[in-house]
Amino acid sequence: MDRDAKVPVLVTGGAGYIGSHAVLALRDAGWPVAVVDNLSTGFAFAVPEDVPLYEGDIADAVLLEQIFLEQGTKAIMHFAGSIVVPESVENPLGYYENNTVKSRALIEAAVRGGVDHFIFSSTAATYGTPETSPVSEDTPKQPINPYGWSKLMTEQMLSDASAAHGFNHCALRYFNVAGADPQGRTGQSTAGATHLIKVACEAATGKRDGVSVFGTDYDTPDGTGVRDYIHVSDLAAAHVLALEALIEQPDRSLTMNCGYGRGFSVLEVLDAVDRVTNVTIERRMEPRRAGDPGELVSDPSRIRATLPWKPQYADLDQIITHALQWERKLAEIRREA
């Protein structure tokens, strides 16, 4: 895409894990980009110094109006939100507030501000426990936890609002995101993260004394949960390509799965971490967590047919290697802080 077509993009949650990788992908490709983040789970150090960072809430209409005016925002990539499934079961109203109510406020501000394109960070949790695997976009949406419902409601709001107000949108349903920027510029930095590869890398570097395996009685080959792990930099690249697609066809909106179409069980992932690190991580077998399906693997046919998306890091050992490199760098960052 030529430089003239690269409109200014606002990334919500751009100081967080996935958002910060999207910021790098946009910046590396020459897009004008700014970030809004309340830094509740994000980190200012994850945003490049030459990218404007507005510290504040996505439901703050006055702040958003200011950003749109100062930056000339024409597209939004919306990552801000809460993402821990068991936490959503314990605190459903908090999740509906943070993920649904605040997204509604953001969409309203975007309509008022004349934003033309909106890309939404959705989730495979919208499918609940699908009866078939792999999962296509047409699989029935039956979330089994408030997190999944909060995201599905936002998808519906976007669909209705774009039809009424003339912007187009793309909902990208992520499977399990892992890894870190191959150049070591950002990664998953959240304390107390629950993502398996992050947790396992923390254990491998001595930050934890082991890894809990939640559920060993699923209807899967080894009884542990099976997930489709996608490298965060491949996911960020998909966002940039999706934005190009929205700009090229402004009368079209999109909903696409983001995954590789290959599942790994919890035990297979832990075996891979042991292999990559040459460390044997202690495994603790625990009961299932509330709201966890046994298997979630994507059918990525639609995204591959729609976008010129060619994943660069679709290898479990490489995903773990990049996550591990970031874990070690993060320890240095925190020592220096």
Residues tagged active-site: 147
**Strand ordering across the sheet containing 168-174:** 53-55, 33-37, 9-12, 75-78, 117-123, 168-174, 254-258
DSSP per residue, 177-239: EE---TTSS-----TT---HHHHHHHHHTTSSS-EEEE-S-SSSTTSS-EE-EEEHHHHHHHH
Rounded Cα–Cα distance for residues 105 and 17 (Å): 23
Rounded Cα–Cα distance for residues 271 and 281 (Å): 9
Is the Cβ–Cβ distance between 142 and 127 less than 8 Å?
Answer: yes
Residue 245's CB is within 10 A of a number of other CB atoms, namely 19
Rounded Cα–Cα distance for residues 175 and 40 (Å): 23
